[in-house]
Amino acid sequence: MAQIQVQHQAPVSGPNGVAPGAAGGAQFMLTSLYVGDLDVTVTDEQLYQLFSQVAPVASVRVCRDLASGRSLGYGYVNYNNLRDAARAMDLLNFTPLNNKPIRVMYSQRDPSLRKTGTANIFIKNLDKSIDHKALHDTFSSFGNILSCKISTDSFGQSKGYGFVQFDNEESAQNAIDKLNGMLINDKQVYVGHFLRKQERETALNKAKFNNVYVKNLSKSTTDEDLKTIFGEYGEITSAVVMRDADGKSKCFGFVNFENADDAAKAVEALNGKKFDDKEWYVGKAQKKSEREHELKAQFEQTMKEAADKSQGANLYIKNLDDSIGDETLKELFSEFGNITSCKVMRDPSGISKGSGFVAFSTPEEASRALAEMNGKMVVSKPLYVAVAQRKEERRARLQAQFSQMRPIIPSVAPRMPMYPAGAPGLGQQFLYGQAPPAMLPPQVIYLESLSILLT
């Protein structure tokens, strides 16, 4: 097997070192490639084997978590000159490794230069047959692409939309102008600037409206007051403070403008202003359903952020001795950091299930605890410690596992029959998965996987 050279290139400027990037003024290490979207099972050797087919490589590396050794899903390939690197990027971008297309870019370690968000475009209504490479080829005529991908599900199937990050705004605008609304594979595609959800919603909120909602009014504010204050911005058709049956102000109201531009001006001018020491909220009046939808979305966003923040800080423990309860579990792990929650799972009758969760304040603490505690003998048995997976991740992992079970056509499968003649399962066209050690009919494997997916 080929030897992997581990010598590293000196990070110096020079003919082969730092060189000016294309328009936009970004600086790239033009001999150093960042390889992302790696399947976690991809190894240094595999990267080396692939990239050295194009030109001699100076070094390769799959980056790994220091404590657990788990692949971080990206790596680096360094070449001796920029021509080799450019050629490798061109030829090898989106090559599948372990069934997953890799994404190759120039290494750009300054995050501020990577996260500008400008010149980034979004494409949707793409035919499902269009893959990363086809997208790249379609858009590369408009400029230099830094990164490009189709969004896919856990089976690698296109979700029908994708992203192209150019290195300058003009290329992006040009691509939008030329391709938005065009037919690609008989489907009319949408091509526009990439907008985060928040930005899309603000854009949507700028849609015209005449009715304005105002809240946090003082008890004494009247319809007349609203008319006077909002009347400054244009012709008003109605202004009402909402009141209960006794005529007591509910401290909110509605002002309807003759024309939408004036309504927008009033919102702009009055939102957040103080009247009678009360800070008014002034905005587009929304239907109850719109408002509820927005609140729900906000709530979900908050939950998602909280989940992201705790990602990696929560450990799943199993093979726990039955005698261990919440307190003992906490004591076992407390030397590694601040424990925010700790729980032994129990069945309804209170008997330990032998598994539990320990959450730390930070992923670093959790990682240290994992490294130290996994496999450690506690009372009677060795602990199993892993980073807790969220339900969604567990599901995705099982799904990926399932998708990798390829049909085995009997004619190309080993000659040795897997089952005694007449055993169940022989009648079918193909068998799923690797040959099972037991003589289970293959469809049982299939159904088991499916039932896990469905739970």
Rg (CA), the chain: 30
Q: How far is the CB of 150 from DNA (least distance, A)?
A: 9
The whole-angstrom separation of Cα 285 and Cα 213 is 5
Q: How far is the CB of 12 from DNA (least distance, A)?
A: 11
Identity of the residue, 11 or 417, whose beta carbon is nearer to DNA in the bound complex: 11
Sign of the alpha-carbon torsion through 121, 184, 403, 45: negative
Spatial CA neighbour of 16 closest among 63, 58, 76: 58
Q: How far is the CB of 358 from DNA (least distance, A)?
A: 24
Identity of the residue, 37 or 223, whose beta carbon is nearer to DNA in the bound complex: 37
Spatial CA neighbour of 81 closest among 37, 25, 19: 19
Contact predicate 187/151, CB 8 Å: no
The whole-angstrom separation of Cα 218 and Cα 253 is 11
Identity of the residue, 11 or 382, whose beta carbon is nearer to DNA in the bound complex: 11
Q: Position of tokens 């992203």?
A: 163
Identity of the residue, 192 or 375, whose beta carbon is nearer to DNA in the bound complex: 192
Residue type, 105: M
Residue 389 is given by DSSP the state P
Q: How far is the CB of 92 from DNA (least distance, A)?
A: 16
Identity of the residue, 124 or 368, whose beta carbon is nearer to DNA in the bound complex: 124
Q: How far is the CB of 22 from DNA (least distance, A)?
A: 14
Q: How far is the CB of 111 from DNA (least distance, A)?
A: 6
Q: How far is the CB of 21 from DNA (least distance, A)?
A: 12
Spatial CA neighbour of 322 closest among 346, 296, 298, 354: 354
The whole-angstrom separation of Cα 152 and Cα 81 is 33
Q: Write b or e for each residue in 75-86: b if 16 or more Cβ atoms lie within 10 A of its Cβ, otherwise e.
A: bbbbbeebebbe
Give the interface with DNA as residue ranges (CB under 7 A): 8-9, 11, 29, 32, 34, 36, 59, 61, 63, 66, 72-74, 76, 78, 103, 105-109, 111, 114-115, 117, 120, 122, 124-125, 146-149, 151, 153, 157, 159-161, 163-165, 190, 192, 194-197, 200
Identity of the residue, 78 or 210, whose beta carbon is nearer to DNA in the bound complex: 78
Cα-based distances in Å from 335 to 366, 371, 381: 11, 13, 20
The whole-angstrom separation of Cα 323 and Cα 352 is 8
Contact predicate 116/166, CB 8 Å: no
Identity of the residue, 17 or 234, whose beta carbon is nearer to DNA in the bound complex: 17
Identity of the residue, 124 or 227, whose beta carbon is nearer to DNA in the bound complex: 124
Cα-based distances in Å from 104 to 51, 53, 59, 113: 11, 15, 15, 17
Identity of the residue, 16 or 221, whose beta carbon is nearer to DNA in the bound complex: 16
Q: How far is the CB of 76 from DNA (least distance, A)?
A: 3
Q: How far is the CB of 216 from DNA (least distance, A)?
A: 32
> What's phi and psi for 182, nearest 5 deg?
-80, 160
Q: How far is the CB of 119 from DNA (least distance, A)?
A: 9
- Length of the chain, please? 455
Residue 435 is given by DSSP the state P
Identity of the residue, 188 or 361, whose beta carbon is nearer to DNA in the bound complex: 188
Sign of the alpha-carbon torsion through 224, 230, 232, 234: negative
